[in-house]
């Protein structure tokens, strides 16, 4: 019997507006034909099972979805690299469960160099290095150089270790194409120290001053729990940073994510979280807030990185499709 599924598709899709989905019954072996027709005709195959296919009229959701994102937001534009997981602090909201007791789990210079090279070839435009506390690594300056040689790079740190050999290491880091992002949660010590440890606020403020004096671009990022968010406190925070010479575009306030050590904060899942591809020594993850959580694991294979990035993009498309299908099938009125 000749398959007529293509005729059904042309007729059904032709009668609906762009964005509308139609369902066609399938006979064995017709799923490939539907996929081929969708690819050829510029329509989107939403799903195909043994006995039916769902097709949406118009271009695939990922293409349309990506068109509405800024270049920085597009999946695969930014790459996060967890240099290590051990830390000199044990912040009670740390999404990566880092602490002095955490095993190091470092990516290492060689893999880091290869990752960044592959990232640049795969269309990544910016790299972020985080931990743990990266300055615990003795070769961090080499790691930073290997990144900055290929892509603009930001290094996240608590800014507390700029002394002795680590200060020497900081001084060897490049100024161009490189930004230090130092954590500071509040304008005064109380809130910051409550979560990060006594005396940490003062040392972080000192670290900001050292980094600026050494000629680095410094971005300051606060992490604030929802129940502690306060507009007066936020205004005071910005005023404090203004006074330290940090431009407003380099003053960042972000919420605590309910991940890792945090018992409070934003609940984030892969289907509600725009991905930012994240690599640790253990694998590739959906987003840096989930880098120590299996639900956000994309693959254990770090290489080739392009494959992992494409998998993230594919999964995002799938999640968006699921949301759209659900929205279409379960209207609220």
**Interface with another protein includes 258 (CB under 8 A)?**
no
Q: Is the peptide bond before 308 cis (omega within 30 degrees of 0)?
A: no
**Min dist. Cβ of residue 28 to another protein (A):** 16
Q: Taking the CA of residue 78 as centre, how many other CA atoms within 13 Å lie in the half-sphere pointing to its CB?
A: 16
**Interface with another protein includes 36 (CB under 8 A)?**
yes
Region from 13-21, 89-97, 99-107, 250-258 binding another protein, contact rule CB under 8 A: 13-21
Q: What percent helix, strand, coil does the chain show, rounded to 5? A: 40, 20, 40
Which of 23, 25, 27, 41 touches another protein by CB under 8 A?
Answer: 41
In the complex with another protein, which residue's Cβ is closer, 67 or 249? 67
Q: Where are the alpha helices (DSSP H) in the chain?
A: 5-14, 31-41, 61-67, 109-121, 140-148, 164-171, 189-196, 200-213, 231-243, 305-329
**Min dist. Cβ of residue 110 to another protein (A):** 42
Region from 40-48, 93-101, 127-135, 266-274 binding another protein, contact rule CB under 8 A: 40-48
**Interface with another protein includes 15 (CB under 8 A)?**
yes
**Min dist. Cβ of residue 50 to another protein (A):** 20
Q: How far apart are CA 277 and CA 270, in angstroms?
A: 12
In the complex with another protein, which residue's Cβ is closer, 11 or 23? 11
**Interface with another protein includes 16 (CB under 8 A)?**
yes
Torsion of CA 65, 315, 283, 147, to 10 degrees: -20
**Min dist. Cβ of residue 122 to another protein (A):** 24
Which of 27, 28, 33, 206 touches another protein by CB under 8 A?
Answer: 33
Q: How far is CA 158 from CA 96, 162, 229, 240, 281, in A?
A: 14, 10, 21, 17, 21
**Min dist. Cβ of residue 299 to another protein (A):** 34
**Phi, psi torsion values for 161, nearest 5 degrees:** -115, 25
Q: Taking CB under 8 A as the rule, which mask of x and - marks residues 43-82 in contact with another protein? A: ------------------------x---------------
**Interface with another protein includes 37 (CB under 8 A)?**
yes
Region from 32-40, 96-104, 232-240, 250-258 binding another protein, contact rule CB under 8 A: 32-40
**Interface with another protein includes 18 (CB under 8 A)?**
yes
Number of alpha helices (DSSP H) and beta strands (DSSP E) in the chain? 10, 12
Q: How far apart are CA 17 and CA 39, in angstroms?
A: 18
In the complex with another protein, which residue's Cβ is closer, 9 or 155? 9
Assign 215 to helix, strand or coil: coil
Q: How far is CA 332 from CA 22, 272, 325, 329, in A?
A: 20, 20, 13, 10
- Helices 31-41, 5-14: axis angle to 10 degrees equals 40
Under 8 Å between Cβ of 265 and 93: yes
| Residues numbered 127-166 forming contacts with another protein, rule: CB under 8 A | none
**Interface with another protein includes 10 (CB under 8 A)?**
yes
Region from 10-18, 117-125, 143-151, 203-211 binding another protein, contact rule CB under 8 A: 10-18
In the complex with another protein, which residue's Cβ is closer, 28 or 215? 28
The pairing of beta strand 78-82 with beta strand 126-130: parallel
The token duo for 133 is 């506390």
Region from 30-38, 117-125, 186-194, 217-225 binding another protein, contact rule CB under 8 A: 30-38
**Min dist. Cβ of residue 333 to another protein (A):** 21
Q: How far is CA 64 from CA 21, 34, 60, in A?
A: 15, 21, 7
- Binding residues (CB under 8 A) for another protein: these are 2-4, 6-7, 10-11, 14-18, 20, 33, 36-37, 40-42, 67
């Amino acid at each position: 019997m000749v398959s007529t599924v293509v005729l059904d598709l042309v007729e059904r899709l032709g009668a609906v507006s762009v964005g509308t989905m139609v369902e066609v019954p399938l006979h064995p072996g017709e799923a490939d034909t539907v996929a081929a027709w969708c690819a050829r005709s510029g329509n989107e195959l939403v799903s195909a099972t043994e006995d039916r296919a769902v097709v949406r009229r118009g271009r695939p959701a990922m293409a349309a979805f990506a068109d509405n994102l800024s270049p920085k937001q597009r999946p695969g534009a930014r790459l996060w690299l967890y240099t290590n997981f051990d830390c000199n602090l044990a912040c009670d909201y740390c999404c990566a469960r880092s602490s002095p007791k955490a095993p190091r789990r470092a990516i290492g210079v060689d893999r880091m160099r290869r990752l960044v090279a592959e990232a640049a070839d795969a269309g990544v435009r910016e790299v972020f290095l985080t931990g743990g506390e990266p300055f615990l690594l003795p070769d961090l300056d080499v790691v930073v150089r290997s990144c900055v040689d290929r892509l603009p790079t930001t290094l996240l740190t608590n800014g507390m270790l700029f002394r002795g050999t680590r200060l020497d290491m900081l001084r060897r880091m490049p100024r161009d194409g490189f930004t230090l992002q130092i954590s500071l949660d509040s304008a005064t010590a109380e809130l910051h120290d409550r979560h990060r440890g006594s005396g940490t606020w003062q040392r972080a403020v000192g670290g900001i001053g050292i980094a600026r004096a050494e000629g680095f671009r410094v971005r300051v990022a606060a992490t604030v729990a929802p129940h502690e968010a306060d507009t007066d406190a936020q205004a005071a925070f910005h005023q404090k940073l203004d006074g330290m010479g940090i431009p407003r575009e380099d003053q960042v306030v972000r919420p605590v994510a309910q991940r890792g050590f945090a018992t409070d904060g934003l609940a984030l899942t892969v289907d509600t979280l725009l991905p930012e591809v994240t690599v640790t020594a253990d694998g590739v993850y959906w987003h840096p807030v989930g880098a120590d959580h299996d639900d956000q694991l994309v693959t254990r294979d770090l290489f080739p990185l392009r494959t992992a990035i494409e998998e993230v993009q594919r999964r995002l498309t799938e999640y968006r499709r699921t949301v759209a299908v659900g929205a279409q099938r379960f209207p609220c009125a």
